[in-house]
Copies of this chain bind each other. A is one copy, B any other.
Amino acid sequence: MTGRQLHLNAFLMNTGHHEASWRLPESDPYASVDVAHYRNLAQVAERGTFDSLFLADGPVLFNSVGQRPSGTLEPLTLLTALAGATEHIGLIATASTSYNLPYNLARTFASLDHISGGRAGWNIVTTAGAEAARNFGLDAEPSHATRYQRAAEFLDVAFKLWDSWEDDLIVGDKAAGVWGDTAKLHPAGHRGPYFQVEGALNVPRSPQGYPLLVQAGSSEDGKSFAARYAEAVFTAQQTLGDAQEFYADVKARTRRAGRDPEGIKILPGIVPVIGDTEAEARRREAELEDHIVYEHGLYQLAHILHVEPGALDLDAGLPADLPTEDEIEGAKSRYTLVVELARRESLTVRELIGRLGGGRGHRTFTGTPEQVADAIEEWFHAGAADGFNIMPPVLPSGLELFVDHVVPILRSRGLLRTEYTPGQTLRERYGLPRPDNQYAAGAPAYALAAL
């Protein structure tokens, strides 16, 4: 195969991305803590030669347990278990810079990278919401700007720790009794406004140097952060136009940050509702919508919009007097996407909840495998995507449908590998270079940390 290749990431989530997936007869309501469920999903994604799989996260109980599957296995722990059940696929865990300590998190990612043979990735998030803050001794959510400042310093500390061992530090000279070359050890010696970290990491430098860095914030601060640090970007985009604009914007910011725009891969999300015929796919979509509990959806929508649930009427449009994005200290870009979607399509609150039910703001595409492949290819060739975040509405069946019916089409069109190149790291699979160690003799100026 030649030509530009798609990057595919499988976004795994309990019984599926559709709000109501757990209510289908095929779904297991206990799937969220069943490692066998996830092991199966990882193996199906690997059968489909996906680049990676991904788990979202927040250190908080997000959804009310009354409404839908809540509570999961902690992503870094679960991915470590999946490392042993797979051989090639990348393993991307979300972790928060607001509610972790850099020494601990840097260690865990370095360890996962060693254990998986260079397959670790980190979806860097700053975690919106006061509920999470209150699990960590804070009374209120730190401001959006503060969270991104802490995130930037967190990354700088993490780079120092991951580079604190040069790659060839270990010499293992048994005769001389010298295990390592102390000149190649570089304690972090970091003193900043958010963090003071003195020592070196207690994990040797890992196969990838550090995990693939992924980011998913689409606000101004989010995009600047991505331009500076991210190697892959997850994003929710509803229309081709918006996606093209976002793609061009992030690539341009990356260039302005002094980095190669090829070094950042943009992956919009897509919720593929697949049927043998278009009619069957629509029936599948309708079946899912029938299972939505609209009163629950109302609460979630109110949360995104930062209004009281009582301010929303299921059978009317959105109220006129919503806050502006500037006033949102939580997830800014998701707020704007939802409001624009409702206004653009003149949706009632009920219709809006139905549209968000599939992927919480991600684009739902309903059709035959051929149509799904066309939709993917269109955006890929139109400067809107380097690949996709595949978000099956129901799991495992939606991932199986994609792998068994859409993947063969993408392969036949020369858009996707037919097998893995053995021994590749996750970063190599995404076509990205292994980062130099900032302390190594002859290392060029450290592109990512320099700014």
A: residues with CB less than 8 A from B are 20, 22-25, 27, 29-30, 32-33, 35, 58-62, 64-74, 76-78, 80-81, 83-85, 99-101, 103-104, 107-108, 110-112, 114-115, 131, 134-138, 165, 169-170, 172, 174, 177-182, 185, 188, 195-204, 291, 293, 296
- Say whether A111 contacts B65, CB under 8 Å: no
Do residues A71 and B202 form an inter-chain contact, with CB atoms below 8 A?
yes
- Are A203 and B29 in contact, with the CB atoms below 8 A? no
Residue on B nearest A110 in the bound complex, by CB = B74
Q: Mind listing 22 A-B residue pairs with CB under 8 Å?
A: A23-B177, A29-B170, A29-B174, A30-B172, A33-B203, A59-B107, A60-B202, A64-B182, A65-B165, A67-B178, A71-B201, A74-B107, A77-B80, A80-B80, A81-B84, A99-B101, A100-B104, A101-B136, A103-B135, A134-B198, A134-B199, A135-B199
Q: When the two chains form their complex, are residues A114 and B73 in contact, meaning their CB atoms are under 8 A apart?
A: yes
Contact in complex: A202, B22 (CB < 8 Å): no
- Known contacts: A137-B197, A174-B23. The answer to whether A70 contacts B202 by CB under 8 A is yes
Other-chain residue from B66, B138, B182 in contact with A182 (beta carbon distance below 8 A): B66
Nearest Cβ in chain B — how far from A165, in angstroms?
A: 7
A177 touches B293 (CB 8 A): yes
Is B76 a contact partner of A77 (Cβ separation < 8 A)? yes
- Nearest B residue to A34 via CB reads B114
Q: How many copies does the complex hold?
A: 2
Cα A401 to Cα B199 in complex, Å, equals 38
Scoring A65, A131, A134, A293 by chain B CB atoms within 10 A of each residue's CB, the highest score goes to A65
How far does the alpha carbon of A112 sit from the alpha carbon of B79 in the complex, in Å? 11
Complex-state Cα separation, A138 to B198, whole angstroms = 9
By the criterion CB–CB under 8 Å, are A66 and B29 in contact?
no
- Give the complex CA separation of A115 and B201 in angstroms: 27
CA distance A112 to B170 in the complex (A): 31
Q: A30-B172, A81-B80, A203-B33 are in contact. Are A104 and B99 (CB under 8 A)?
A: yes
A62 to B203, CA, bound (A): 11
**In the bound complex, CA of A198 to CA of B66 (Å):** 19
CB closest chain-B residue, reference A76: B77
Complex alpha-carbon distance, A204 and B61, angstroms:
10
CB pair B180 A137 closer than 8 Å: no
CB-defined contacts of A201 to chain B, threshold 8 Å = 61, 71
Contact A65 B185 (CB under 8 A): yes
| Residue pair A71, B29 in contact (C-beta under 8 Å) | no
Q: A66-B181, A78-B111 are in contact. List 14 more A-B contacts (CB 8 A).
A: A29-B172, A35-B115, A59-B103, A59-B104, A61-B201, A61-B202, A66-B182, A72-B203, A74-B111, A81-B81, A81-B84, A99-B101, A131-B199, A135-B197
Query: Please, how many angstroms separate the alpha-carbon atoms of A61 and B186 in the complex?
Result: 11
Q: How many whole Å from A381's CB to the nearest CB in chain B?
A: 40
Q: Could you say which of A29, A68, A100, A135 has the most chain B C-beta atoms within 10 Å of its C-beta?
A: A135
Cα–Cα distance between A184 and B317 once the two chains are bound (Å): 36
Decide if B198 touches A78 in the complex (CB within 8 Å): no
Which of A108, A115, A131, A172 gathers the greatest number of chain B CB atoms within 10 Å?
A115
For residue A99, which residues in chain B have a CB less than 8 angstroms away from its CB?
A: 101, 103-104
B residues in contact with A296, CB < 8 Å: 177
Report chain B residues within 8 Å CB of A77: 76-77, 80, 108, 111-112, 115
A301 vs chain B, min Cβ distance (A): 17
